[in-house]
Structure 1
Amino acid sequence: MLPADMVGGVSTARAVNLEVTGEALSTFVKRVDGILSDLEGSPGNPKRVGSQTIKPGSLAGDPSAFPEAQDLYAQYNQVHEKLTSLSKALHLQIEAIGIAVRGAHVGFDNLEEEQRRRFWAIQTQIQESQAAGDGKQRAQGDNTTGDL
């Protein structure tokens, strides 16, 4: 049984702490926009991270003569792929947070149709990416031991 002062699973005292002013939301939106702008201008930009690859031809010589180099190359590519994926996901999450904060400020129904559509497109893209990542882990046998 819930205490008398709880409404919807949140106590009245805590509900007051959840109230946000328009000014606080505007400040938060500016911070999120700033972070997104910084990310796009940084080496962590998904496009920049994705372009930093090593070509197989960089490893000259017979692969059987130096198998460690081939193993290192394979690990580098695996880590690079994960970093690229994480960078894209971070970029999308920050963009979605910015839209959600604007929606919290003015009401989601009052957002421009394009912003609402973009928000749901981001959510779908993130879910698909997570599902694809889960499928890859299962296909690889869930090797989570950290062996290199």
Structure 2
Amino acid sequence: MLPADMVGGVSAARAANLEVTGEALSAFVKRVDGVLRDLEGSPGNPTRVGAQTIKQGSLASGSVSRFPEALDLYLEYNRVHEKLTSLSKMLHLQIEAIGIAVQGAHVGFDNLEEEQRRRFWAIQTQIEAIQDADGGKQRGAQSDTTTGDL
């Protein structure tokens, strides 16, 4: 049984501390939008990160058997590059989703424009696809704990 001063499982004092003013949410949205603009204009932009590739021939001119380490370096570079590209895209999407979620928290998710709600769910789908492409490592750990499978 919950104590009399509990509201929705949270004490009234804590619930009051969780309330956010519209002004605070607006300021947070502006900060999130600023971070997103900075990311889009930086070398960390997913498109820019994805464009920074090297060709296998750049590391070895001749037979791979003469310099097998060059092939190893090339393969490792590509592995790391793919991971960085994925992380950069994921960060970009997460920041955009946070901006929409904050606006939804301010006005209510049902009161957001239809396009914003659609974009939010499209971002969630993209994030899941990226996680699946990365082997589902992030989602796999979460689903194991939620289903009880360890």
TM range (shorter): 0.7 to 0.9
What letter corresponds to residue 102 of structure 2 in structure 1? V
Deviates more, 1:93-102 or 1:7-16: 7-16
Compare relative contact order (CA 8 Å, sep 6+) and give the higher one, 1 or 2. 1
What letter corresponds to residue 49 of structure 2 in structure 1? V
Q: How many residues are treated as equivalent by the alignment? A: 137
1:40 matched to which residue of 2? 40
C-alpha offsets along residues 7-40 of structure 1, whole Å, 9 cap, x if unaligned? 3232222211110000000000000000000000
Q: What percentage of residue pairs aligned between the two structures are identical?
A: 82
- Partners of 2:137 and 2:18 lie apart in 1 by 39
Change (3 A) 1:108 1:136: closer
Once the 2 structures are TM-superposed, how far is the Cα of residue 135 of structure 1 from its aligned partner? 4.9
1:54 matched to which residue of 2? 54
> What is the RMSD computed on CA atoms of the aligned residues?
1.7
> Does the residue aligned with 1:64 lie in a helix, a strand or coil?
helix
Structure 1 stretches lacking a partner, 5+ long: 138-148
What letter corresponds to residue 9 of structure 1 in structure 2? G
Structure 2 stretches lacking a partner, 5+ long: 139-150
Once the 2 structures are TM-superposed, how far is the Cα of residue 136 of structure 1 from its aligned partner? 8.2
The yes-or-no answer on 1:91 pairing with 2:82 is no
TM-score (norm 2): 0.85
Change (3 A) 1:70 1:136: farther
TM-score (norm 1): 0.86
